[in-house]
Copies of this chain bind each other. A is one copy, B any other.
Amino acid sequence: MSASRGRGRPRDPQTDTAILEAALELFVERGVEGISIEQVAKRAGVGKPTVYRRWSTKEDLIAQAIEQWVAAEVTPSAADVYALPLRDIVEGVLPAAAETAASPAFRALVARIMGSAVSHPSLMAVYWRHYIVPRRQLAAAMLQRAQADGTLAPDTDLDVLIDMMAGAVTYRVLQPDPPDAAGMLRYLTAVYRQAGLYPPAHDSP
C-alpha cells in the first residue's frame, strides 16, 4: 500500500494537518458516503499512498479530523463553577457558546455527525467523547451548583435535563432558519432560564 513505508523518513505534521483539514471539509460538504480517500488526497495535495500510510479507512480519517477540530479545553473547570455566583458563571459561558452554535461551520459539522450516527457510529462516538462529554460535565456541575444553591429541585434528573438543554440547541441549530449569534444568545438564555440555571433577578433566592 505504501512504497515508502519503512524508509524511516519522519512524518511531516504539516502533511497530517493538510490531510485532516481536507477530510473535514469534504465530510462537511458531501457526507461520508460522498467522499473517497482519493478526493481527500487530491484536495490535500498529496498522493493516495500518503493518506493510506496514516489512516487505513476514510472513517478513521474523518473521526480523527473531528477529534482534532473539537479538541479544546472546556472552561470554566467544574471546580471553578463553585468559585463565583452561578449567574456570573452562566453569563460568562453563554456568549462563546452562542457564537459557536450560530456559526455555519459548526452547524454543518453537527448536521453531518448527526447524519452518520446510524451508518457510521464511530464518528458520533468520537464527537461524543471529545466534545459532548466534557460539556455535559460542565453542565452537570452547574446544575449541581443550582441544586446546592436551592434554585433547582433536588430530585431533578440531571441527565435528562442536560439532554433537554443540549438537545434544544442541536435541534434549533438544525431547524430551517437558524438564528444568528445574537439570536442564539437570546435562545440559550431562554433555555438556561427554563432549566432553572438562570433565574430572572427578581426570582433569585
State which residues 108-151 of A face B: CB under 8 Å.
108, 111-112, 114-119, 121, 124-125, 128
Query: Does B171 contact A191, Cβ atoms closer than 8 Å?
Result: no
Main secondary structure of the interface of A (DSSP, over half): helix
A side interface size, CB within 8 A: 44
Would you give the 0/1 interface string for A15-43, flagging 1 where the beta carbon is closer than 8 Å to chain B? 00000000000000111111000000000
Q: Does A160 contact B (CB under 8 A)?
A: yes
Q: Does A91 contact B (CB under 8 A)?
A: no
Q: Does A87 contact B (CB under 8 A)?
A: no
Assembled-state Cα–Cα distance A128/B178 (Å): 13
Contact of A31 among B107, B119, B172, B175 (CB under 8 A): B119
Assembled-state Cα–Cα distance A57/B171 (Å): 27
Query: Does A172 contact B176, Cβ atoms closer than 8 Å?
Result: no
Nearest Cβ distance between residue A25 and chain B, in whole angstroms?
13
Q: Does A157 contact B (CB under 8 A)?
A: yes
A-B contact list, 22 entries, CB within 8 Å: A29-B119, A31-B31, A31-B32, A31-B119, A34-B34, A111-B114, A111-B117, A111-B118, A112-B118, A114-B115, A114-B174, A121-B176, A124-B176, A156-B194, A157-B194, A160-B190, A160-B191, A161-B194, A163-B172, A166-B167, A167-B169, A171-B171
